[in-house]
Amino acid sequence: MSALDAGRRPVIRPDVQSMHAYAIQDSTGMVKLDAMENPHRLPPALQQALGQRLGALALNRYPDARVNNLRQALAHYATMPEGFDLMLGNGSDELISLLALACAVPASSANGFKKASVLAPVPGFVMYALSAQLQGLDFHGVALTEDFELDEGAMLAAIKEHQPTLTYLAYPNNPTANLWNDAVIESVIEAAGAQGGLVVIDEAYQPFSSKSYIDRLARHHHVLLLRTLSKFGLAGIRLGYLMGRRELIAEIDKVRPPYNVSVLNCECALFALEHQEVFAAQALDLRAQRALLFEELAKLPGVHAYPSEANMLLVRVPDAQKTFEGMRLRKVLVKNVSTLHPLLANCLRLTVGTKDENQQMLAALRNCL
């Protein structure tokens, strides 16, 4: 009998049993524009050079101090401030989970702590809420305004009421792709800090954004900056990094599993940083393609495209499900986000692809309207 059979004490948590696993859409034979990936591959010469380098690695050994070389390279690339440190994760998803784990203090009158909680604007990245749930933390979502801006009053009221342990601010946001008002962000940061909480600025889409929080990071002791190499162009290697005050990172690093970054991930990332001009050129191309795509979407009747600071565009169409299915039948895969939050009614999220991919996407979208 299965451990989940009726009549037996379940060994899997009931809330986990009621969850759905993260769904990855089948993209076989499709123009894949659903996951905000960089569509450009390495040039053939770099593919060969990387292959030789990876082939020479000692795969029979656990990762060694080479990861420290990567940490230093990333700190230099990101212009990390003095007095700060950096920890690595198997993608930013792992770092989000580790933050929840490090802060998961159960409610108890004996230890004097209230139950830890997570707060974030919604709609936003689903992993903020999921990581909180899996660690037994409460999650408090605060709705954005109708034009997808931070609701300053609602955010400050929620911080005062819930006193969150972790507050996430995506910069730019997913799936709305916008940057929020800097003054409002500072107001939220100050309020969260006054309650004793940490603030995580998530810059997953930094390569495509006109702004970064890195220049303001040193102002605060309670702010962490989260980035990933996925949008840089290395979604396949799963590498994220978290920057913060050295003493704060040292505490969070205690819950990191040993050897969480493989020698392959590490060497790929180092190789990419040594050739960062190639990836910078790819990001520049995608920003140019984003602008062209935005212009073309504005010409389509019944379609409203929102300004973007990421490698995606949020569009509102007359019927999201019908349009999504129609595009899929035409071999173009995008993301239907219309059911994730009421503010996203009839919205699709389109990844910016190559010039040819974008033309195919526009043709499919026109034919579905």
Q: Are 127 and 94 in contact (CB under 8 A)?
A: no
Read off the pLDDT of each residue in 356-365 and give the average, rounded to a whole number.
97
Q: Are 188 and 150 in contact (CB under 8 A)?
A: yes
Asked if 147 and 282 sit in the same domain, the reply is no
Tokens of 158: 């929620």
- For residue 173, the enclosing domain spans 61-275
Residue range 294-348, pLDDT digits in tens: 999 999 999 999 999 999 999 999 999 999 999 999 999 999 999 999 999 999 9
5 belongs to a structural domain = no
- CA Rg value for the chain: 21
Residue 3's pLDDT is: 52
Asked if 162 and 226 sit in the same domain, the reply is yes
Residue 16's pLDDT is: 82
Evaluate if residue 9 carries a pLDDT over 50: yes
Tokens of 79: 């212009």
Asked if 262 and 352 sit in the same domain, the reply is no
- How far does Cα 133 stand from its chain's mean position? 18
Which long-range contacts (C-beta less than 8 Å, at least 24 apart) are formed by 80-84?
80/214, 80/243, 81/214, 81/217, 81/218, 82/218, 83/218, 83/245, 83/246, 84/217, 84/218, 84/243, 84/244, 84/245, 84/246, 84/249
Asked if 39 and 118 sit in the same domain, the reply is no
Rounded Cα distance, 141 and 130, in Å: 12
In angstroms, what CA-CA distances link 278 with 46, 227, 239, 258, 264? 10, 19, 18, 32, 20
Instruction: Compute how many other C-beta atoms are within 10 angstroms of the C-beta atom of residue 251.
Output: 11
Residue 106's pLDDT is: 65
Asked if 214 and 260 sit in the same domain, the reply is yes
**CATH classification at residue 124:** 3.40.640.10
**CATH classification at residue 24:** 3.90.1150.10
Q: Are 83 and 126 in contact (CB under 8 A)?
A: no
Asked if 215 and 102 sit in the same domain, the reply is yes
Evaluate if residue 8 carries a pLDDT over 90: no
Asked if 255 and 289 sit in the same domain, the reply is no
The pTM (predicted TM-score) of the whole model is: 0.92
Asked if 222 and 260 sit in the same domain, the reply is yes
Asked if 40 and 98 sit in the same domain, the reply is no
Read off the pLDDT of each residue in 212-239 and give the average, rounded to a whole number.
95
Could you tell me where the beta strands, DSSP code E, fall in 235-334? Answer: 240-245, 304-305, 312-316, 332-333
Which of these, 152, 205, 153, lies nearest to 175 by C-alpha position? Answer: 205
Residue 113's pLDDT is: 61
Q: Write down which residue in 232, 248, 275 finishes a domain.
A: 275
Q: Are 59 and 332 in contact (CB under 8 A)?
A: no
Number of domains in the chain: 2
The residue ranking higher by pLDDT, 215 or 3, is 215
% pLDDT > 90, the chain: 87
Give residue for tokens 């990836």. Answer: 279
